[in-house]
Amino acid sequence: MSLWRYANPVEFMRLSGRAMPALWALTAACLGAGLVWGFFFTPDDYRQGATVKIIYLHVPAALMAINAWIMMLVASLIWAVRRHHVSALAARAAAPVGATFTLVALVTGALWGQPMWGTWWAWDPRLTSFLILFVFYLGYMALWEAVEDPEKAADLTAALALVGSVFALLSRYAVLFWNQGLHQGASLSLDAEENVADVFYLPLLLSMAGFVLLFVTLVLLRTRTEIRLRRLRALELRAGRLAEEVA
Amino acid sequence: MPELGDYAGAVLGAYAASGLLIGLLVAHSVLRAGRVRRALRRAEAKQGRSHV
Amino acid sequence: MSALLARELALTLRAGGGAMQGLVFFLIVILLVPFGVGPEPGALSRVAPGTIWIAALLSCLVTLDRLFQTDFEDGSLDALALSPLPLEAVTAVKALAHWLTTGLPLTAIAPLLALTLQLPAAAYPWLVAALAVGTPALSFLGAVGAALTLGLRRGGLLTGVLTLPLYIPTLIFGARAVVAAADGQNPVPALALTAALSLAVLATAPFAAARILRIQIR
């Protein structure tokens, strides 16, 4: 028995269908608890005041914006190498979720930046990189939409995901060369206590778990929809052909 | 309600905007899932087979 | 290979091949900028490097459709794919021909247009150098973007959406070299990065584009 049997659409549908209710519940619990805790029951930061409450949205969204792209790239590569359709469809399903998280990170960042830096937007390396990432998400989704033949669309978007990853990363470093920014360094690392105090850290961790779960849930849901859509198209095609034969 | 002071606009705006964006994404995902599931069920009923 | 290059150049340079249009487009974009920015020499010379680079990006982009599109439509691309020449070499030659008819001429006329934008005198050699080493990357990356959108209805717009983000690093380094020279700083690091990026793109993009073309003509 190997992991790859879950790449079988029927098996995938069976298992993911069973997991969905629990995933929804867990997502709601983690996200709700993390955000309520963060919003109502944490003190203000001595430098940033109440704006520190934005961290429970901004950091998890930013984290998942990047991780969604990485997951999309891995799924695309699995498709390219092993030709599992579920994998290609999972990559397709992840893109809108990742793009939305990128947008959430950008918007919450702008709202946080206004009182802290005195501006909604600065062409800071991190902000700029996220805007570039957002554009890559949009291009990836547009290519999926534009190509009609599903197999060809999967191949082309996989190629784009690979090329796009290289250039998103290149842009990340090129942008550093172009402008050193205002943004603070990563607020979380393995020795997180040094960066973010405990009172903020625990609800933040909970909220991050919530975002991860939300991502997994939505990607599974959207992948299931894509698989059903594929099946629907196949049925329609067969019905159309039958109609032609009869006529 | 916590005391947000001068930053109420920024904090509430961030929560509202995130809620809206994520809410739209969830709503879109769920509605589309339902629509496709029903369409597939109809198509399968018409052809007398059921798989997924 | 030289026969293919000659064919590509002949197709582009003959009447209606569109070699001039890329250049005219370049000229027009630059002509538009003073209307948007205002005629003050100070403002113009500040935006001159970026303007010229962005005009170069756009000229490369709008001429990308001639890379593969006609060959794809009339079946020559299938013939080329079956020929003894590897498809990687075919894409490289096509991208090279694209550069010779787009990037190279616009590099040649860029100093003249820079004059109208009041680019500081010290920056001219660096402008030419940066464009000369940077624009090949635009053509080769353009081959990847053009291959991805081959045969799509309304593919032109999508080519821009997919290709322009790939141009960001080249734009940053290339424009930075010119800005540095104009500001009296050392332009060499930025120019070296532009050249390094171009070399990397020249070495890898034909493989990516050929792989994508094989998907398209499968």
Delimit the domains of chain B by residue range. Answer: 7-43
Do the Cβ atoms of A50 and B2 come within 8 Å? yes
Extract the tokens encoding C35: 């209307």
Cα separation, A232 vs A150, whole angstroms: 13
The chain A residue lying nearest C141, using CA atoms, is: A163
pLDDT digits (tens, 9 = 90+) for A84-109: 999 999 999 999 999 999 999 999 99
Phi and psi dihedrals of A45, rounded to 5? -75, 145
Extract the tokens encoding C172: 């940053």
Which of C165, C215, C216 lies nearest to residue A139, judging by beta carbons?
Answer: C165
Cα separation, C200 vs C189, whole angstroms: 16
Phi and psi dihedrals of C9, rounded to 5? -65, -45
Which residues in chain C are contacts of A163 at CB distance < 8 A?
A: 144, 166, 208
Regions in chain A scoring below 50 on pLDDT: 1, 189-194
Strand partners, A49: A45
Extract the tokens encoding A28: 């709601």
Q: B48 CB contacts (<8 Å, ≥6 apart)?
A: none
Size of interface A-C (CB pairs under 8 A): 67
| Residue A164 forms contact with B (CB below 8 Å) | no
Residues C49/C123, Cβ–Cβ less than 8 Å:
yes
Phi and psi dihedrals of A49, rounded to 5? 60, -145
The three-state secondary structure class of C117 is: coil
Measured between alpha carbons, how far is residue A32 from residues A103, B26, B27 in Å?
20, 15, 17
DSSP C120: -
pLDDT in 10s for each residue of chain C, 218 residues: 788 888 877 777 776 667 788 899 999 999 999 999 998 988 999 999 999 999 999 999 999 988 898 888 888 888 888 888 899 999 999 999 999 999 999 999 999 999 999 999 999 999 999 999 999 999 999 999 999 999 888 788 999 999 999 999 999 999 999 999 999 889 999 999 999 999 999 999 999 999 999 999 88
Strand partners, A45: A49
Do the Cβ atoms of B18 and A225 come within 8 Å? no
- Touch between B and C (at least 3 CB pairs under 8 Å): no
The more confidently predicted of residues B2 and C176 is: C176
Is B23 exposed, middle or buried (CB count within 10 Å of its CB: 0-12, 13-18, 19+)?
exposed
Do the Cβ atoms of C161 and A138 come within 8 Å? yes
Cβ-based interface (< 8 Å): residues of C facing A: 144, 148-149, 152, 154-155, 158, 161-162, 165-166, 168-169, 172-173, 176, 190, 193, 197, 208, 211-212, 215-216, 218
> What pLDDT sits at residue A222?
96
Which residues in chain A are contacts of C144 at CB distance < 8 A?
A: 163
How many Cβ atoms sit within 10 Å of the Cβ of residue C138? 30
Cα separation, A5 vs A205, whole angstroms: 33
| B positions 33-52 inside 8 Å of A (CB) | 33, 36-37, 39-40, 43-44, 46-47, 51-52
* Residue located via tokens 């950091």: A59
